[in-house]
Amino acid sequence: MNSLNPFHLAIPVNNLDKARSFYTNTLDFKEGRSDSHWVDYDFFGHQFVIHEDKSHQPNPDAFSIVDGHEVPVPHFGVVLEWDAFHEFANRLKQNKIEFVIEPYIRFKDKPGEQATMFFKDPSGNALEFKSFKDMNQVFAK
């Protein structure tokens, strides 16, 4: 797989203090710069920013069916190495994350077989983290 430049993603949160606690303490992301309305994070080597927007309310009923599961949309996350995915999933379980979709293997024995999990932050933003045992399968048809 080619080396990629880090992406930048900024999302709204409706309570900066709760979101900051979640991303810093629950997910254990390293904080970067911040001010009273936003916080930068190291998101597995990418630049991730939470911006306070007290009116932010994602649609809790928006989903798409994927592999028989109701996948929340929109969502974002990172494709992790296999062992890193399982270590992260175990840490989330220890931190008592309420999963929307528990960690499981999607597309078992098919092209693009992957481990995946979904959960939401305190503002209702959906996150997906996944991994491929064979990283050459990321874009498999």
| 17-66 confidence digits (pLDDT tens) | 999 999 999 999 999 999 999 999 999 999 999 999 999 999 989 999 99
Q: What is the pLDDT of residues 79-138, one digit of tens each?
A: 999 999 999 999 999 999 999 999 999 998 888 899 999 999 999 999 999 999 888 888
DSSP for the chain, written as a single string: ----PPPEEEEEES-HHHHHHIIIIIS-PEEEEE-SSEEEEEETTEEEEEEE-TT----TT-EEEETTEEEESSEEEEEEPHHHHHHHHHHHHHTT--EEEEEEEESTTSTT-EEEEEEE-TT--EEEEEE-SSGGGTT--
> Does the reported pTM lie above 0.95?
no
The structural architecture, per CATH, of the domain 8-54+62-137 is: Roll (3.10)
Backbone region of residue 112 per phi and psi (left: phi > 0; alpha: psi in -120 to 50; beta: other values)? left
| Confidence bin at 139 (pLDDT 50/70/90) | confident
Residue 59 CA to residue 83 CA, distance in Å, equals: 32
pLDDT value of position 2: 60
Question: Which has the closest alpha carbon to 104: 71, 141, 58?
Answer: 71
Over residues 1-25, mean pLDDT: 92
Amino acid at 88: F
The tokens describing 90, both together, are 């175990």
Q: How confident is the model at residue 4 (pLDDT cuts 50, 70, 90)?
A: confident
